[in-house]
Amino acid sequence: MCSGRVDLEFLLKAFLNGQDGVFVGGCKLDECNYITHGNYDALSNVHLCKKIMQHIGLDPERLRIEFMSGADGALLADYTDDFSRNVKALGPIGKAEGLSGEELKTKLEAARKLVPYIKLVERERLRVPVKSKAEYEKFFASDATNRLIEELITDKLSISEILQLLSKKPLSTGDISSVLDLNPSAVARHIGVSTRQGLIQYDENGKCYALA
């Protein structure tokens, strides 16, 4: 299977299913058997997923991508052995980062539901113009790209997390801020946007917010 088939949602689902780490193996860059060069798509998805993981409080080192040929069995073994040791050292997912099982599930579900939007953003605004590993590393490490991700994805992800929380029960701004570890002013801003969009409403009796 082409590594380009490794969708962003697949990566998030693996963590949702309790995997402590995810390793993606692809054929060597610039040696793709298909004209699509899907391994670069896989590389882009891994970079985006790492950004999402950072936002929701997961160690991005739990995700790795490496490239090799079909004859590189020994290299694959070296890569996976090293990755397994590193993931074991990190500890159980969520728990090692100070997240409860419920908090971890809420954050990952919120990110998963945002995947269609993230794909659209990636296609229109986050495509790397030159296909090379160095250019991809440079692009996703740049301040300009980080600002763009913050502008286009991070706020949407925070709103998705808030909606995911409110789907379980009404909460106050303080409760949401505490659970998501977000600044109260940021929570208020996200709630204001969601309220204007008709997604959230204020419950006068309970003095809290709920899904509309």
Domain boundaries, the chain: 3-168, 169-212
Give Cα 199 to chain centroid, integer Å: 23
pLDDT at 142: 96
pLDDT digits (tens, 9 = 90+) for 5-55: 899 999 999 999 999 999 999 989 988 777 778 899 999 999 999 999 999
Q: 34 by DSSP, 3-state: which?
A: coil
DSSP 132: S
Task: Give, to the nearest 10 degrees, the angle between helix 38-56 and helix 155-166.
Answer: 60
pLDDT digits (tens, 9 = 90+) for 141-194: 999 999 999 989 999 999 999 999 999 999 999 999 988 888 999 999 999 999
Q: What is the CATH code for 169-212?
A: 1.10.10.10
pLDDT digits (tens, 9 = 90+) for 61-90: 999 999 998 888 899 999 999 999 999 999
